Structure 1
Amino acid sequence: MLVLNKYSPSEMRTNILSGITVALAMVPEAIAFALIAHVSPLTGLYAAIIVCLITAVFGGRPGMISGATGALAVVMVALVVEHGVEFLFATVVLMGVLQTIFALFKLGKFIRMVPYPVMLGFVNGLAIVIFMAQFGHFKELGPDGMAVWMTGTSLYTMLGLTGLTVALIYVFPLITKAIPSSLASIIIVSSLVGFFGFDTKTVGDLGSIGGSLPVFSIPDVPLNWETLRIVLPYSFLLACIGLIETLLTLNLIDDMTDTRGRPNKESLAQGFANIVTGFFGGMGGCAMIGQSMININNGALRRLSGIATALFLAAFILFLSEWIELIPLAALIGVMFVVAEKTFEWGSLRLFGKIPREDIFVGLLVGGVTIIADLAIAVILGVIVSALFFAWSHARKIEVTTSTNKKGWKTYELEGTLFFASAKNFHELFDIQKDPKDVIVDFKGSRVADHSAIMAIDNLANKYKAAGKKLHLVHLSPDCLDILDTAKSMVEVNLLEDPKYHIADDKIS
């Protein structure tokens, strides 16, 4: 919770000024995402205010900014077009309920299963998405009502103002760090446009942001199974996308700040925020990597920054809409260009040829799918492909060393992990027909990882038994013994030396 007396004057200034900057950057984004989802601009702004405020106060990652996002908006389009905005509000409420259940079961820890190449692909893919999304503002309505690229003076003006904003962001810190360079650049460029009267696109060209605060309203949908059938698939998909983007952004900020967020607490706050948003006419939301990067790069790592962002957004709607609508889009585009540049992991380009090709492939795959399809699909696909690469590499690493003792018994000393992917290679290590009457299989240097591995051991025992030979299995863990069938009678147990690990099998308590 927010305790102001724990903030130093410099921290308060940094977090409040950063909140203003982030709020200004969120306005065109919220409007654009609302238009993508076929809802009113205020629907996007209401989501930005409510989700940002609740997650800032109760979330598990101070400094992270949440609000309406494009990843969610593209999923909402079909629902709104086919069933209307009230079904969207009901969907957002159920989305929040599902996210709350996720948090209560403490499933946030599973974000640790996301490999680093997937994280790199996620970050770089979103950086490119943020960069490419700005080019939509360089279009205007043509004579036929269709969007066409700007030309002539209007294009040069936009490019010039955007370039000036980018330059100011990088140069201004050399003059002073009293206020965030992003905020200073927006103020300077807006002042120049107003003073010289440049004819250029402004925030107001996207839609009016003036209005009142949202009011409580139960979504006007039939309370029956048919409604649940319609909204549940969308709610589940939105909940997954929101949590994935949020938890990956949380991990990214953890790495950047060398701190540790609380994923389950953040998931719970996001779920509660979306429930409230649905009842107050908002389109729902999750973490926004672009705005979060603005905040973190400004040095705003406290809850006050997110709270200030939400309060300034509310003030824009209530009191300052006429002024905010005069801000040139070029200034905000420039800010987002810099965000994209700072978000992209440029160091990853130097990894080519220095890390396994599989990791490079996964990173490129996740980045590419993030750009052309969907964030959730990209991350899930990346995790699956990484797991397959892992399984394949470990399947080839099970090896054996053979020897013969004084009795003439042959010993197979295993090295590596025995699991579902290496079971076939495991059987190929043995020469049952040529082996002597007594054979020892030593598992001291091997790990039995799953039920498939135990079945492979049992099948091997059956083959030696059918050949009329005696198989001696040593250094198997106690839980393996509980599941073995035929091979159990062939195990020689030395509890002082046997491994203490447990296999991953649902028969073991």
Structure 2
Amino acid sequence: MFDLIRKNSPHQIKNDVLSGLTVALALVPEAVAFALIAHVHPLVGLYAAFMMGLITAVFGGRPGMISGATGATAVVMVSLVLEHGVEYLFAAVVLTGLIQIAFGVLKLGKFIRLVPHPVFLGFVNGLALVIFLAQLDHFKVKDATGEVIGWVAGAELGIMLGLIALTMAIIQFLPRLTTIIPSTLAAILAGTLLTIGLGLDTRTVGDMASIAGGLPSFHLPEIPFGLEAFKVVLPYAVVLAMVGLIESLLTLNLVDELTETTGQPNRECIGQGVANTVNGFFGGMGGCAMVGQSMINIKSGGRGRLSGISAALFLLAFILVAAPLIEQIPIAVLVGVMFMVVIGTFEWGSLRLFGKVPPADILIVIVVMVVTVLTDLAIAVVSGVILAALVFAWEHARHIYAQQTTTDDGWKIYDLNGPLFFASAQNFQDIFTPNEDPNDVIVDFRHSRVADHSALAAIDKLAERYEKVGKTLHLRHLTPECRLLLKKAGKLVEVDVFEDPKYHVAVDKLKEKLGEA
């Protein structure tokens, strides 16, 4: 059922396990950093990465995709933790999971298809920039209170840059020599051993925080259950659910493109929801899919669910028994890994779109990218979708026109072309000249489509215009639904039962009326 291990594929099993180890090593500083952003204990972030990674790998809809604590969700949590405490965060994460499960059960994950490609490009490029900017934080010098007091300089900066360059070079060129071991894993091991062997003075994972701990334990959020607490938690839960699902489903699409396979959005919604619900009951900060870690996994050869499971189990092993070893990994090495993720994530082909696609599409890419960097992913994607919808509406509003002919009887025919909807309603009105037209006018909708209520209102208004000047308007090739809803123009409709289309729209009231007729 879960396709944990692909049959007859020992090579893929090896790739999934080694890739999982690579991801787990890169997950540690990310989880700790995001926990610190949310003002919770580092273990809260590590537990979240373990539980999110394991549960979504088993129950989610996208094998090979990695989930964990993320910056996109961490920034939403900050004010809740500061104002009400971590227990309210756990309650919010539980509710977040329930909302996401509901999305999956109701099969709303399919609406990710409404995200246009320019928005997707902006999302990918924006996240690449966010990942890059996040790495710059490791070049800052902070005091005991966490305040930035300067930047790394001198010999320490030289060592960091050298390790970053070595890491990136190994990741880039090792696959040309051998693919026995993932190049990212080899780079982490090489950089760590070099640092230890030469006694280089550079910051390590252990300098961020200790990652040693025990197993996560069941824990009911200690908040006063009631309407007041619910009012506090609900807004954060809704935002967390939306941010998590948007990032997860867009990451799913990205992995689909890279692997040329198809994920299951609705199942992923349920998997994310179950993982977040469990997080809230076991002391984790929740999260969603991680673009950077997913890219590391895919580039390292991880394709099956075993890669995500391995990453989660390795991470748990680090927490339980291997913390002293993992804490020796240089931060610079992991920065180098993430820089390669940035290079692999950014859609460099989008830079060649200038002059080759409509300017509006370029604008959408830039807007989504900038808003992703300046605010958060949810606002960026929603802004991009709205902007794309407005551009679409504006462009199609100009496509409505009519060819005019006159019959032998002196009737004037407007053969309408193009969609009639809210944006084209005014252009539709401008086509007609009731004062100059003959007594009988035909509007033929053979090549047009009445799309919404604004279109119906426009037809109704047109009928009133002709009625005021004592002329008769005939409407041809309207759907039965349109004729039923046109209160004033209905009696003026000229019906051609052999030519009128028979398609229907899913409106219960219309079905009832049609049934009665």
Distance in 1 (CA, whole Å) between partners of 2:253 and 2:8 is 25
Distance 1:375 1:59, change over 3 A: same
| Aligned position for 1:361 | 363
User: Residues of 1 paired with 2:117 and 2:146: CA distance?
Assistant: 45
* Residue matched to 1:305: 307
Please report how far the alpha carbon of residue 505 of structure 1 lies from its aligned counterpart in structure 2 after TM superposition. Answer: 6.1
What amino acid maps onto 1:133 in structure 2? A
User: Which amino acid in the other structure matches residue 276 of structure 1?
Assistant: V
May I ask how many residue pairs the two structures share in their alignment? 509
Provide the residue aligned with 1:383 in structure 2. Answer: 385
Structure 1 residue 502, shift from structure 2 partner: 3.7
Superposed displacement of residue 496, structure 1: 2.4
TM-score norm. by structure 2 comes to 0.96
Corresponding letter in the other structure for 1:317: I
Amino acid corresponding to residue 52 of structure 2 in structure 1: V
Paired position in structure 1 for 2:373? 371
Secondary structure of the residue aligned to 2:258 is: helix
Query: Residue in 2 aligned with 1:126?
Result: 127
Q: Which residue of 2 aligns with 1:267?
A: 269
What are structure 1's unaligned runs of at least 5 residues? none
| Counterpart code for 1:130 | I
- Structure 1 equivalent of residue 14 of structure 2: 13
- One-letter identity of the residue aligned with 1:124: N
Aligned to 1:287: 289
Report the Cα distance in structure 2 between the residues aligned to 1:220 and 1:361, rounded to whole angstroms: 47
Of 445, 448, 465, the match for 2:447: 445
Q: Is the 8 A contact 1:242 1:285 kept in 2?
A: yes
What CA distance in whole angstroms lies between the structure 1 residues aligned with 2:89 and 2:9? Answer: 42
Q: Which residue of the partner structure matches residue 141 of structure 2?
A: 140
Q: Give yes or no for contact 1:451–1:504 (8 Å, CA) kept in 2.
A: no
Report the alpha carbon displacement of residue 299 of structure 1 after superposing the two structures with TM. 2.4
Q: 1:7 and 1:68 mapped to 2: Cα distance? A: 33
Listed one character per residue, the Cα deviations across residues 353-377 of structure 1 (whole Å, up to 9, x for unaligned) are 1101111111100000000101000
Question: Which 10-residue stretch deviates more, 449-458 or 58-67?
Answer: 449-458
Change (3 A) 1:145 1:336: closer
Distance 2:63 2:5 in 1: 14
Retained in 2: the 8 A contact 1:418–1:426? yes
Q: Where does structure 2 lack aligned partners over 5 or more consecutive residues?
A: 512-517
Which aligned pairs between 1:274-423 and structure 2 lie closer than 5 A? Answer: 274-423=276-425
Shift of 1:168: 0.8
Q: Give the drift of 1:315.
A: 0.4
Cα displacement string for residues 14-73 of structure 1 (whole angstroms, at most 9, x for unaligned residues): 000000000011100000000000001100000000011000001100000000000011
**What residue identity is the alignment partner of 1:216?**
F
Matched, 1:173 2:167: no
Code of the residue aligned with 1:387 in structure 2: it is: A
* Equivalent position SS for 2:382: helix
Q: What is the CA distance between 1:508 and its match in structure 2?
A: 3.3
Cα distance in 2 between the residues matched to 1:247 and 1:261: 9
Residue identity matched to 2:78: V
User: Against the structure 1 CA distance between its residues 347 and 314, is the aligned structure 2 distance closer, same or farther, given a 3 Å change threshold?
Assistant: same
Shift in CA distance, 143/417, structure 1 to aligned 2, threshold 3 Å: closer
* Structure 1 residue 4: Cα displacement: 3.5
Letter in 1 for 2:268: E
Q: Normalized against structure 1, the TM-score is what? A: 0.98
Partner SS, residue 510 of structure 2: coil
Q: 2:487 maps to which residue?
A: 485
Equivalent residue runs for 1:39-118 within 5 Å:
39-118=40-119
Paired with 2:495 and 2:303, the residues of 1 have a C-alpha distance of 56
The whole-number CA distance in structure 1 between the counterparts of 2:277 and 2:144 is: 43
The verdict on how the C-alpha distance between 1:144 and 1:303 changes in structure 2, with shifts beyond 3 A counting, is closer
Distance 1:402 1:60 in 2: 54
Report the 3-state secondary structure (helix = DSSP H, G, I; strand = E; otherwise coil) of the residue aligned with 2:162. Answer: helix
Is the CA contact 2:5–2:304 (under 8 Å) kept in the aligned structure 1?
no
Matched to 1:262, the amino acid is Q
Q: Is the 8 A contact 1:450 1:505 kept in 2?
A: no
Find 1:197's aligned residue among 192, 196, 199. Answer: 199
* Aligned 8 A contact 2:442 2:476 in 1: yes
